[in-house]
Structure 1
Amino acid sequence: MVTGGASGIGYATVNEFAKEGATVAIFDYDEEIGKKAEEQLRSEGKNVTFYKVDVCSFGDVKNAVYKFAEQNGGVIHHLVNGAATFIFKGLDATLEDFNKTFTTNVSGYAFTVQAVHPFMKKAGGKGCSIINIASVSGSRPEANKWTYNSSKAAVLTLTKCMALDLSKDGIRVNSVSPAGTWTSALLNTLPGPGGREKWEPIFAPQYMLHRCAEPIEIARPILFLCSEDASFITAIDLPIDGGHM
């Protein structure tokens, strides 16, 4: 199950899980993009279902999780929390800005974990895992980004708290911290005109690898952390940042 799974890193993650034969739920607020994602992946023979979900509403999340679990033997094995809002404000941030950012980027992650927990317990816990998508922005200061950066810092601590509480059920919880990744979300938040061709050379010097990431380069490590190859890894944050940190 992937929240924010209709585009960007979320979509790439859905695709990678589905390629491995998993039954995957796309949770996303954007119905148009979500249905297109479902249609595209199903046309490729992948077992994917879109659910229109507002992660800011626990009731909405709980209902969708129940529907997905009911259609899949009453169990859920993996959750990737990737739904996010990108509000970059500093001195000009309002209460509304903070509420929207934290309700989506932090509470939304918590609501989804609360909703899937009973179905992971039913699955036996062992082999079940949760990945929260954080960001390098949660570990470093950036100008005029009080809202977004503080929410991603909260995700880092939230992940460790979740890992501690869910460890008794054998459920692993980790986070990943991507740096700049070429998604529609990044393109929509560029600080000026021009697309990837203009901004890649500007961003490149920030990275040892002299480029931003592709979504699949975040999705594959997420898949690893959910796999049996990572069965003794929990409560960690994995930077996927091309040396940025």
Structure 2
Amino acid sequence: MTDSEQSIIDHLIELRSRLLKAVMTVLVLIVIMFPFAGKIYTLIAKPVMINLSAGTEMIATGVLSPFLTPFKMVIILAVIISMPVIFYQIWAFVAPGLYRHEKRIAMPILFSGIVLFYLGCAFAYFVVFPILFVFLPSIAPEGVVYMPDINSYLDIVIRLFFAFGLAFEIPVAVIILIVLGVTSSAQLAAKRPYIIVGILVVAMLLTPPDPSSQVLLAIPMWILFEFGLIMGRILRQRRHHAEHSARD
């Protein structure tokens, strides 16, 4: 066996080890949370339940929905909570192949990405959900009783969690593009009108078809884009200064 083949095998073994650690973390969290699946679902469903009309409740139209829906909620929540471990395992696998200056940039970006993802999920739960689930019952046609299905509600919640979580990663993406020299803050600023249109389209595609949630996603995305431009410009300037100082 050649050194090259041995190296590939070693990398595959390490990759398997990293993946197993990430999967085991998710499984352990599922086992811990499963006995409380009903209570966890009730907590997640609180924004819609407090806005239901008197005498109405959420419903389960599927035969296995009362069991499967909270269980699916636990799985998704376990993945979300495990994000730091998952990203750390990815980082630990790729870090040995990075240069020192790349590690200095990558570590803060990785940490910021995790924090921003959680902030996006928190923004969805504490800001968007209360507004959205006040708006939706109010537009129900006369004679229609608003009694959302628990599985349909979960699908919307998951969609919004990941939509806002990923949307809050915009500054990280902008900073990476600028720092790596793929583009510049000036070029991105010049394309701002097209980027804003793109943000509106993405917000429309990622959220339910109501104006409130679309606007509540589009505005933070635009603000975070502008923040990414500012931070990318600052980091790029610092990198230039460091390179010039090293040459001198």
TM-score class normalised by the smaller sequence: under 0.3
TM-score, length-normalised on structure 1?
Answer: 0.28
TM-score, length-normalised on structure 2?
Answer: 0.28
Give the strand-richer structure, 1 or 2: 1
Give the helix-richer structure, 1 or 2: 2
